[in-house]
Amino acid sequence: MGIEIDQGSPRRQRRDSVASRKDPEQEFFTMTLLSHIMKHPKKNNLIAMQGDTEILFRRVKSLCLPFFEWNDWIAKHIDQTLAAYREKRDSRLSKLGRDQKKKLLKKAQ
């Protein structure tokens, strides 16, 4: 007579199975990225970056960066992303200002 070990519900087995298949490095990268996003004062501007996690992970792996350098790489990437966002925003505002100036000059003539 053997001892039966309860493996849990089918739902738990499925969840455990999915969790065991995840790449630990990718999970570490994802959690590091999320921690940067969550604590950043401009986190609302960075929410879209969550969807790019896999792309960013592949990029960091293609650079052959060791995992202990990922934190700094993510911080620099966030800074670059926000700088590009500000530059694009400022460019749009500048263009809007020029367009409004042209319209006002046309009306004045």
Segments making up each domain of the chain, as ranges: 25-108
The Cα–Cα gap between 68 and 52 comes to 20
pLDDT of residue 49: 76
Whole-angstrom Cα distance, residue 1 to residue 89? Answer: 73
Q: Give 52's pLDDT tier (boundaries 50, 70, 90).
A: confident
* Cα dihedral 43/49/50/54 (nearest 10): -150
Which of 15-19, 39-43, 80-84, 86-90 comes out lowest in average pLDDT?
Answer: 15-19
Report whether pLDDT(34) > 80.
yes
Cα→Cα distances 94→29, 45, 97, 102, 106, Å: 37, 20, 5, 12, 18
Q: Reply yes or no on whether the pLDDT at 102 is more than 90.
A: no
Cα–Cα distance between 2 and 76 in angstroms, integer? 57
pLDDT at 61: 96
